[in-house]
Chain A
Amino acid sequence: MIPAIGLVLGIVIGVLLQPAVPAWLQPYLPIAVIAALDAVFGGVRAILDGIFSDKVFVVSFLSNVVVAAFIVFLGDKLGVGAQLSTGVVVVLGVRIFSNVAAIRRHLFDA
Chain B
Amino acid sequence: MSSPGTEPQPPRDARHAWARLRRAGSPQPTRSNLLAALLAGALGFALIVQVRQTSVEGLENLREDELVRIFADVDQDGEQLAAEITNLEASLNLLRSQTTSEEAAQGAAQERLDSLEILAGTVEAQGPGIVLTIRDPLGGVKAPTILDAVEELRNAGAEAMQIGDVRIVANTWFTDAADGLSVSGTVIQPPYVLRAIGDSNTLAGAMEIPGGVTATVRRAGGDADVRITDEVTVDALLPLRTPQYAQPVPTESP
A contacts, CB < 8 Å to B? 1-11, 13-15, 18-21, 23, 26-27, 29-30, 32-33, 36-37, 39-40, 42-58, 60-64, 82, 95, 98-99, 101-102, 105-109
Contact = CB atoms under 8 A, between A and B. Distances in A.
By secondary structure, the B interface counts as: helix
Interface in B32-52: 32-50, 52
B247 interface: no
A96 to B, nearest CB: 11
B41 A51 contact: no
A48 B21 contact: yes
B12 interface: yes
Contact of A2 (B5, B33, B43, B46): B33
26 contacts: A1-B26, A2-B27, A2-B34, A3-B37, A4-B40, A5-B37, A8-B44, A10-B40, A10-B46, A14-B44, A21-B50, A26-B61, A33-B43, A33-B50, A42-B5, A46-B2, A47-B24, A52-B2, A64-B1, A99-B5, A102-B5, A105-B8, A105-B9, A105-B11, A107-B17, A108-B14
Contacts of A37: 43, 47
Contacts of B24: 1, 47, 52
A1 B17 CA distance: 16
A14 B33 contact: no
B53 interface: yes
Given A11-B44, A98-B5, A106-B14, A2 B37 contact: yes
Contacts of A8: 44
B30 interface: yes
A90 to B, nearest CB: 16
Given A7-B41, A36-B39, A27 B61 contact: yes
B20 interface: yes
B32 A54 contact: yes
Contact of B35 (A9, A13, A58): A58
A3 B32 contact: no
Contacts of A50: 20
B41 A54 contact: no
Contacts of A95: 5
Closest 8 CB pairs of A and B: A54-B32, A10-B44, A14-B48, A6-B37, A10-B41, A42-B2, A6-B41, A10-B45
